[in-house]
Chain A
Amino acid sequence: MNDIAINIDSVSKAFGTRLVLKNINLAVAARQSVLLCGVNGAGKSTLLNIIAGLLQPDRGSVSLSGCNINKYAQRAKSQLGVILHKPMVYPELTVIENLSFFADLYGVKKSSDRINELLEEAGIWAYRNDRAGILSHGLLQRLAIARALVHSPKILLADEPFTGLDTGACEHLISILTNFADNSGTVFMTSHDTHIGLRCCKRVLVLDKASLIFDADAGDVDAAAFSRDFVAYAGGAE
């Protein structure tokens, strides 16, 4: 069994003449939880989309548990759960119909048991027969998390999952992420809110000017100083 959950090998990406990622090399071990920080436009979402296989890098490759995301796409994708900016749910379908659809797509057996379990965990059991289009942002985010976990993935990618959530919803999401990591899952997330990010993750990275400039254990980081200005903190640490 490969101990490296996410392996990013010399990945570069440009949009037109703007270089967004330059020769990124990163290995995330299995059962690790990683926080990626960066200012707006640093390339965090681009890197996450490349790991998820939604974007192709101009150079380099990505492997998930040893499976190249392009060559063995189906095998790689079946172990990946992804939370992006938008919830990726169908507004005309009910909550339970959305989850059933994604369960079928991932070939989940006995999906009704799994869906009921997720509805309870995500705290949206009461809304199961409501159309996704009428849900509030917070409830949509919970549905998005349930969607990402419906097939029991080994790796969870989350792109700024705390955006727009109230305190209660944030705490709920923190507990889901820490439970996932505690139950042998690998978490790779981006967040502007470094306080919350440092609570969920054991390893922290900083992306600036197309390169990874900082990589350390969360326990070794001065949370207050890091949260004030992580780019300066990372530059000082260099």
Chain B
Amino acid sequence: MRYFWLSFKAVFIKDIVTELRARQVLPTMIVLGVLIVWILRMASETASAGAVIIGPVSLWIAILFSGLLAQERSFATEQQQDCICGLLLAPVDEGTIYLSKLLVNVVMLCIFEVIIVPIVVVAFHLDITAHRPALIGVLLLGNIGLSSVGTLFSAIVELTRTRGALLSILVLVILMPMMIPVTFALLAIFNGIDDELAGTGALAFVGSFKAAVGYMVAFDAIFVVVCWLLFPFVVKE
């Protein structure tokens, strides 16, 4: 157990220090996130649905696409100087490597959200005073879900030197089931769900906020465990 914590901590700190020193990922994520929010803010001027619906949706889209940038970098650093070989040569369980990189990705997304959420709140005139803990919880669950799948597929894409935007399609297709509960939860937090809309049209959701959060917890738990178990098969030659 002690050895697990030592190696977990070592990989986690190494990745965080590398990312903060390189200063490549976070600025790119923030710029992309702001651009997405800006575009949707402009589009919402013409839409009758209003800020309480487009605002939370733009937040989730920004997190998703900026998050993919962070996932790409997960294993790009290990590709330099064949560092992944250095990790695999050490007597470290591959699952430990996966869990530390997962935590690094979650932390990067959290840092990103600390910056992007106020921007969205200001741009769309949203009110989050009543539901801050719920928002933090939902975003954290979203981060874990995105990172669990993104870390595994980032290893696949980077370590096999596959060209093209494969990471985006791999992650997004697996995350499709998460989209509905997350959107529902965010809309509920920002009071975007009108009683009049309930039960009709594309924005109508059945079920409750608790059910959406419960689904997200289940999704995260299942995919973290499954990806952790499958990770050794991906990194070995």
Chain A: residues with CB nearer than 8 A to chain B? 49, 52-56, 73-75, 77-78, 80, 82, 84-93, 97, 101-102, 104-107, 147
B3 close to A92 (CB less than 8 A):
no
A86 close to B17 (CB less than 8 A):
no
B237 close to A54 (CB less than 8 A):
yes
* B48 at the A interface (CB under 8 A): no
23 residue pairs A–B, Cβ–Cβ below 8 Å: A49-B237, A53-B88, A53-B89, A54-B85, A55-B237, A56-B236, A73-B91, A74-B93, A77-B89, A82-B85, A85-B82, A86-B81, A88-B82, A88-B86, A90-B77, A90-B80, A105-B6, A105-B11, A105-B87, A105-B90, A105-B91, A106-B90, A106-B91
**Shortest distance from the beta carbon of A30 to any chain B beta carbon, whole Å:** 20
Q: Given the complex, which residues of B lie within 8 Å of A75, measured CB to CB?
A: 91
Chain B: residues with CB nearer than 8 A to chain A? 3, 6-7, 9-11, 14, 17-18, 21-22, 77, 80-83, 85-93, 236-237
**Shortest distance from the beta carbon of B203 to any chain A beta carbon, whole Å:** 45
A92 close to B6 (CB less than 8 A):
no
Majority-rule SS of B interface residues: helix
B92 close to A93 (CB less than 8 A):
no
User: What CA separation (Å) do A54 and B237 show in the bound complex?
Assistant: 6
Please pick, from B3, B9, B80, B81, the residue contacting A107 in the complex, using a CB distance under 8 A: B3
User: What CA separation (Å) do A183 and B229 show in the bound complex?
Assistant: 40
User: What CA separation (Å) do A141 and B21 show in the bound complex?
Assistant: 23
User: What CA separation (Å) do A102 and B85 show in the bound complex?
Assistant: 12
Please pick, from B9, B22, B90, B236, the residue contacting A92 in the complex, using a CB distance under 8 A: B22
Please pick, from A84, A102, A105, the residue contacting B82 in the complex, using a CB distance under 8 A: A84
B90 close to A90 (CB less than 8 A):
no
